[in-house]
Amino acid sequence: MSTTDRRTVETETRVDFVWPAKDFSRVPYEVFSDEKIFELELDRIFRGPVWNYLGLECEIPNWGDYQTTWVGNIQVVVTRAKDGSIHAFENSCAHRGARIVDNVRGNTKRHTCPYHLWTYNLTGELTGVPFEKGHNGKGGMPPCFEKGDHNLKALRVATHGGLVFGTYDNAVEPLEQFLGEHSLSQIERLLGKRKPKVIGYLRQKIPANWKLYNENVRDPYHASLLHMFHITFGIQTPAMAGGIKMDGDAKNSWNHSILSEDDHLKRSALSDDYDELGKWQKDLKMHDPSMLEVPLDLNDNYKTTILSMFPTLIIGQVDNTYAIRQLRPKGPNAVELHITYLGFEDDTPEQLHNRMLSVNLIGPGGYISLEDGEALRRVQEGVVSRRGEHSVLAMGGIGELRDTDHLIQEISIRGFWKHYHKLMKFPEAGQQQNDKRGAQ
Ligand code: FES
Ligand SMILES: [Fe+2]
């Protein structure tokens, strides 16, 4: 029995905890901290039938350009070959496994492992083995050694709208089908009409499971409760027009809020709901509000749009801040959030300045996302001892997964769990009715 077989058998017998609700309105807490579940995710999700986000075409515009990224716990090198094609392979030598590339990004004609100097071309093929034929008739590889059998482990690559994706799975549906209708139209809306350019990077390590971040970005319910900046300064409020749309199998979702002229009136009408919470300081003013006065540069009044794509990609537009967020799981108890801030090639200096201003809204110290990392840390710490119990996702209704024209909901989170549960091959949900709080 191979190591993989052993691991599969072991984990298949291990995933015996209960998903009490067929509609995924209950999530067993074990999934957030169990080491074996994390191991299983590496096989069944990251090496499974998904398209993993790897980066942007504009980050490697010239042949020889490369950058490193992560798929689950696997470090991957993404390169552009001389013919312009994009390739992705694991950053681990075919000889004895050493990490080959150290830089985050750069340009090179070949990749050489520092240990015994095995050399690979830009598509990951092994092209050079020092002393392959030995020296003076001594040493060298045996006659049966074929370099072609020792290429770097490659992912299959596809691109859409300037985004680069990779998969280990030969049977996964085509990328466009995987992304779905709303993701495709939003990628077109945000990135299709202008040539994107990176204006900055940021990394944040959050002491929480990677799936908690997936919940967070599919959770507009928290947006104007945890982030009082939203409600105080009218960026996203429960009174605004907006809603969620999910793609076919509900694994990807798009939350959006839309500006209307009477938003300030509708916001005042929220007072009753907020007064008893005691958190909204209505008179709070910014000393320098210029960050909030940046005109939207797309002509469609979408104030905030968060496009969340299974398993680790989020494209967010908050005002004029365009940011790609990638989740890089670091074991079950931590995730690195890697943010790529975007501008566009034809930005005027003023537009670039404005983008830099509104970047202050998001990121680890951002006015409306500082709290997310803290909230997720609290969940991670709160659930670790609650084996056999589960969370409650009922806001916006239970049962059928459906799009909504409002943002007071957790339905899109259930969409994430439905797909996760399917890929993880957990026992059928809803088999054990042990929830007195009304799960189906
Ligand atoms: S481990 Fe890379 S050349 Fe030996
Ligand atoms: Fe948030």
**pLDDT, tens digit, 9 for 90 and up, residues 251-265:** 999 999 999 888 888
Point out which residues pair with 65 in neighbouring strands.
Answer: 107
The pLDDT assigned to 316 comes to 94
The Cα 155–Cα 166 span in angstroms is 6
**Same domain for 364 and 295:** yes
Ligand 1 pocket member 115 (CB < 6 A): yes
> Looking at the domain assignment, is residue 407 inside a domain?
yes
d(CA 183, CA 186): 5
Cα-to-centroid distance, 92 and ligand 1 (Å)? 9
The answer to the question of residue 212 being in a domain is yes
Over residues 55-65, the mean pLDDT reads 98
Q: How far apart are CA 22 and CA 20, in angstroms?
A: 7
**What stretches of 81-138 adopt beta strand conformation (E)?**
86-90, 105-107, 111-112, 119-120, 126-128
Q: What is the pLDDT of residue 235?
A: 80
pLDDT of 176 strictly over 90: yes
Residue 81 belongs to a domain with what CATH number?
2.102.10.10
Is ligand 1 within 6 A of the CB of residue 95? yes
Judgement on whether residues 214 and 341 belong to the same structural domain of the protein: yes
Looking at the domain assignment, is residue 224 inside a domain? yes
pLDDT of 306 strictly over 50: yes
CA of 428 to the centre of ligand 2 (A): 31
pTM tops 0.85 = yes
Nearest ligand to the CA atom of 114: 1
Ligand nearest to the backbone CA of 98 = 1
More confident residue, 207 or 7: 207
Torsions phi, psi for 30 (to 5 deg): -55, -30
Looking at residue 359, what is its pLDDT?
87
190 and 143 share one domain: no
pLDDT at residue 269 tops 70: yes
Structural domain containing residue 93: 52-160
Cis-peptide into 20, omega within 30 deg: no
Q: What are the beta bridge partners of residue 67? A: 78, 105
- Does the CB atom of residue 217 touch ligand 1 within 6 A? no
Kindly report, residue by residue over 137-151, the tens digit of the pLDDT: 999 999 999 999 999
Same-domain pairing of 209 and 333: yes
Q: Does 20 fall in a domain? A: no
C-alpha atoms less than 13 angstroms from C-alpha of 281 in its C-beta half-sphere: 6
Say how many domains are in the chain.
Answer: 2
Q: Supply the pLDDT for residue 267.
A: 82
404 within a domain of the structure (yes/no): yes
Q: Looking at the structure, tell me whether residues 73 and 210 fall in a common domain.
A: no
Q: Which ligand is nearest to the CA of 370?
A: 2
156 and 200 fall within a common domain: no
**Residue 293 and residue 364 in one domain:** yes
Q: Which residue has the higher pLDDT, 25 or 8?
A: 25
Q: Is the CB of 27 inside a 6 Å radius of any atom of ligand 1?
A: no
**Position 189 in a domain:** yes
What's the gap in Å between 153 CA and the centre of ligand 2?
Answer: 37
- pLDDT value, residue 281: 86
Give the C-alpha distances (Å, rounded to integers) separating 154 from 92, 98, 179, 255, 403.
11, 16, 22, 34, 37
Question: Is residue 97 a part of any domain in this protein?
Answer: yes
Q: How confident is the model at residue 238 (pLDDT cuts 50, 70, 90)?
A: confident
- Residue pair 314/210 in contact (Cβ under 8 Å)? The answer is no
Instruction: Output 46 or 364, whichever has higher pLDDT.
Output: 46
**pLDDT at residue number 245:** 97
The one-letter amino acid code at 240 reads M
**What CATH number should be reported for the domain holding residue 206?**
3.90.380.10
CA 124 to centroid of ligand 1, rounded, Å: 14
Same-domain check for residues 227 and 98: no
Residues with CB under 5 A from ligand 2 (ion): 372
Minimal-distance CA residue to ligand 1 atom 3:
116
SS3 category, 111: strand
